[in-house]
Amino acid sequence: MNAQTSTLDPKLDPAPAPASSDDAIGAFLQQEYTAGFETVMESDSLPKGLSEDVIRQISARKGEPEFLLEWRLESYRRWLTMTPPKWAAVQFPPIDFQDIVYYSAPKSKKDGPKSLDEVDPELLRTFEKLGVPLHERARLAGVAVDAVFDSVSVATTFKKELGEHGIIFCSFSEAVKTHPELVRKYLGTVVPPADNFYSALNSAVFSDGSFVFIPKGVKCPMELSTYFRINARDTGQFERTLIIAEEGASVSYLEGCTAPMRDENQLHAAVVELIALDDAKIKYSTVQNWYPGDKDGVGGIYNFVTKRGDCRGARSHISWTQVETGSAITWKYPSVILRGDDSVGDFYSVALTNHRQQADTGTKMIHMGRNTRSTILSKGISAGRGSNTFRGLVKVTPRAEGARNYTQCDSLLVGDRCAAHTFPTIEVRHPSAHVEHEATTSRIGEDQLFYAMQRGISAEDAVSMIVNGFCREVFKELPMEFAVEAQKLLGVSLEGSVG
């Protein structure tokens, strides 16, 4: 079975809400991107452009072993033969890949900070301004943080405490030095370099990211978190994250991201690989707040990301939760390969597009093991002239007896100039499979707004309340402190959504 549907063209809606309620929403929506400042600091950057020589320099700067340099070069050669994907429902001018800086790091006097005390105070202030305290003294509900600034990780907190449990949580560069055997064993096994154009590019030039290893039987005692910040101009960020949970291990991991406001578009092409062995559980949450560009669509981040989890072991469980409010363009499909018998994959997503933002996001659930289960819950909110596309694949392979999937895909429209599209694809090759798909599209009702306002609630609070209500099923999947953050972010991102 293969189904493709496209829902909604709001312009065809015969009963537009009265202009006044749109005005009310519009009036609500004029808050600015708050993370858009730039930190002035000296950086060590390579010149613009990409070549084998640039890749050798990146690898040399990071003091990498030979196998990794070879892997990068091989990826680069594959990338040269590939072309950017054209199938997504997004529009942008061609990217000049020679006009990008592939490596930029804050300049430090030594080889790198050995402890937080050696981290440039300007950097610490930057992260504090963003609400990411790196001082372990400021214990944020016991969350360990790895902070990545442009191309390098600047600090990882709670290392010692985690180390006592045998947990490795460090920057990717550090893992390459201290645990090359683990990196070599797992890198590229979930997302092969040539998987797609952007994963090949990432594999060639990736600079830093986070590495997590939870040994057999260990439940990680705290939330792990990585915070990504693009600062330098004309710089692409190509981070690489690898999370491995051994047999019976479990971990909850969260990433957040911001960037300064600039008129040029900046590229962010990350690769995230998750590996869950028997009975392991990985919960990966993202609150994505890259700069979305201004209200006319000038500037903003192109967020072209490949995220995939491999439920390699029996009864393993991988859960993706994402709240996507930023980026000019989002192209992202966190997926799960359900290889182990009885393994479980979840995808919970809120994607909001306002002004001229475009998002083409969704997931792939590949059922290979027996009695594998997956759940997809997608909430798309389109406002302003935003375009929001859900693209999903549920695939049940011939030996995936007893596979089950439930998909629910809801779109909410704010105003009458936005768009929402749904492209679900279902491929079933086993007769015992049970696949359900539900989709709805609704508009923030003038009647809902009027009802709330008649109770004394302002239009802006009413819109925010209705949108948060729409997303509640997804927010409840987020770790507590981030659920609050996500709600706030949604309020901010809706600013100026109509008008």
> Phi and psi for 180 in degrees, rounded to 5?
-60, -30
Binding part of the chain for other proteins, among 114-122, 285-293, 312-320, 457-465 by CB under 8 A, reads: 457-465
Residue 331 interacts with other proteins (CB under 8 A): yes or no:
no
Site string for other proteins, 57-86 (x = CB under 8 A): ------------------------------
Residues in CB range of 203: below 8 A, 6 or more apart = 71, 72, 75, 79, 188, 193, 271
Distances (CA, A) of 480 to 20, 106, 123, 254: 36, 33, 27, 12
Cα torsion 266, 333, 62, 155 to 10°: value is 80
Nearer Cβ to other proteins, position 16 or 113? 16
Binding part of the chain for other proteins, among 74-82, 172-180, 381-389, 458-466 by CB under 8 A, reads: 458-466
Nearer Cβ to other proteins, position 176 or 498? 498
Nearer Cβ to other proteins, position 416 or 446? 446
Nearer Cβ to other proteins, position 180 or 499? 499
Site string for other proteins, 437-456 (x = CB under 8 A): --------xxxx-xxxxxxx
- Burial of 132 from C-beta contacts in 10 A (0-12 / 13-18 / 19+): buried
Residues in CB range of 465: below 8 A, 6 or more apart = 452, 457
Binding part of the chain for other proteins, among 13-21, 145-153, 261-269, 367-375 by CB under 8 A, reads: 13-21
**Beta-ladder partners of 319:** 283, 346
Site string for other proteins, 397-436 (x = CB under 8 A): ----------------------------------------
**Which of helix, strand or coil describes residue 357?**
coil
Residue 21 interacts with other proteins (CB under 8 A): yes or no:
yes
Nearer Cβ to other proteins, position 21 or 358? 21
Nearer Cβ to other proteins, position 94 or 456? 456
Least Å from the CB of residue 462 to other proteins: 9
Cα torsion 21, 384, 410, 276 to 10°: value is -140
Could you give the CA distance from residue 157 to residue 163 in angstroms, rounded to a whole number?
Answer: 11
Residues in the interface with other proteins (CB under 8 A) total 26
Site string for other proteins, 464-483 (x = CB under 8 A): -xx-xxxxxx----------
Least Å from the CB of residue 24 to other proteins: 9
Could you give the CA distance from residue 158 to residue 115 in angstroms, rounded to a whole number?
Answer: 11
Least Å from the CB of residue 148 to other proteins: 34
Least Å from the CB of residue 490 to other proteins: 12
Residue of 461, 487, 492, 499 interacting with other proteins (CB under 8 A):
461
Residue in the structure block whose two tokens are 């981040």: 301
Q: 468-493 b/e with 16+ CB inside 10 Å = b? A: bebbeebbebbbeebbebbbebbbbb
Could you give the CA distance from residue 268 to residue 306 in angstroms, rounded to a whole number?
Answer: 11
Residue 119 interacts with other proteins (CB under 8 A): yes or no:
no
Residue 458 interacts with other proteins (CB under 8 A): yes or no:
yes
Residue 484 interacts with other proteins (CB under 8 A): yes or no:
no
CB atoms within 10 A of CB 495: 19
Nearer Cβ to other proteins, position 76 or 470? 470
Cα torsion 337, 390, 207, 273 to 10°: value is -10
Residue (of 365, 348, 407, 415) closest to 387 by Cα position:
415
- Residues of this chain that interact with other proteins (CB under 8 A) are 18, 20-21, 445-448, 450-459, 461, 465-466, 468-473
